[in-house]
Amino acid sequence: MRSFIEKMRKAGLVTDVKEAVSPDMEAPKMAAKTDKLLFFHNLGGHKAVMNLTANRASLALALGIDERAMVKTLADAQFNGKVVEDGTLTMPKPDLTKLPIMHHFPKDAGKYLTSAIVFSRWEGVENGSIHRMQVLDDHRVVARLVEGRHTHVMVKKAIAKGEKLPVAITIGTHPAVTFASCTRVPTGKELPYAAELMGGTLKVKKCSNGVLVPDAEIVLEGFITAELTDEGPFVDITGTYDPIRRQHIIEITGMHTKPDFIYHGILPGGDEHKMLMGAPYEPKIYKAVAGVTEVKDVLLTKGGCGYLHAVIQIRKSTQGDGKNAIMAAFAAHTSLKHVVVVDEDIDPANPHEVEYAIATRVSGDRDIMIIQGVRGSSLDPCQLEDGTNVKVGVDATMVLGREDEFRRATW
């Protein structure tokens, strides 16, 4: 992570905060006002960063990919990087009170780890994914484990055998590793994907419980247990409070920190959260749409929480391509709620141009698809009691054969 921060600094994308800042809502408020990387020199007595990859330029820099070609390049990923073991980590007794863990919003249940990657290992399979974790005391947290996702499945398998799931939690990891851990990849391929993104090879160290971890400022070793407790309320991607749920407790048995460590916090519902929620799905949507028409770009918009709204740019060859693209996108990312398909002359990243396409190229009775009773996002406040939602697709492309009537005048 430190090498990436220096790259950002050289690019003039870092704001240094020299004055003392409190982890109790003060730092989160500052992060909410900018998408620049904030480097806190004294956050509760420690160094810390927020907004590490809070915009597309910083994410592209982290991945070493041209921003304009990022989605297409990621869509071609092979998940075949080389993971090399490079020693073991010593784990002194844990004490979470020594970390500047933040309290983000007034009604949050307490302090939360938000950037932490949970690496787990079961039956020879490694997994890496981000889970929010509410701090219970100096050596226990409760993690939100989404039902059906890989970590949750592994926990259930371990509990069924009367065991705990071994995990290692990293904080302050290179953003390429974080991005890989946020991406739906083939089973056990998070670390190989991270290695691919970082040039082909990734060194990892083994914890005493057998879990492999990449370089990080802080590593917490422990086990996910069968014990449940209340987790939440907590602000999630929509900026609204997620409800209280019964979730699994993680017992922390060891804590390794670098000397003068740099803590990393992600603002819930903030720009970095949106980037890490949405950008990993863009290549998946790109590949799905490429199966039905010629796709040029995909963007999950900031206004759509980086997760619920997609704009897809295509080159039409038949009049039905726009609607086919909509259906492919919904199938690829089931949490999508609204999709707008545009032509090549419309910039998906420019909301004014997208609105222009809707204003001048959409006939409501012909170009709007409404799909009822389908699975949506559990984070959407509009979700119905049975877990279903309504999806809307908008074909904002020009009518084939009548392009001259729709094209904008140029000089």
Is 236 known to be catalytic? yes
CA 32/CA 37 separation, integer angstroms = 11
* Residue whose C-alpha is closest to residue 111's, from 231, 243, 238: 231
Set 108, 236, 242, 297: catalytic member: 236
The residue assigned the tokens 């950008």 is 279
Which whole-number Å values give the CA distances from 237 to 126, 269, 370, in the listed order? 26, 4, 24
CA 279/CA 287 separation, integer angstroms = 14
CA 405/CA 273 separation, integer angstroms = 41
What residues are labeled active site? 236
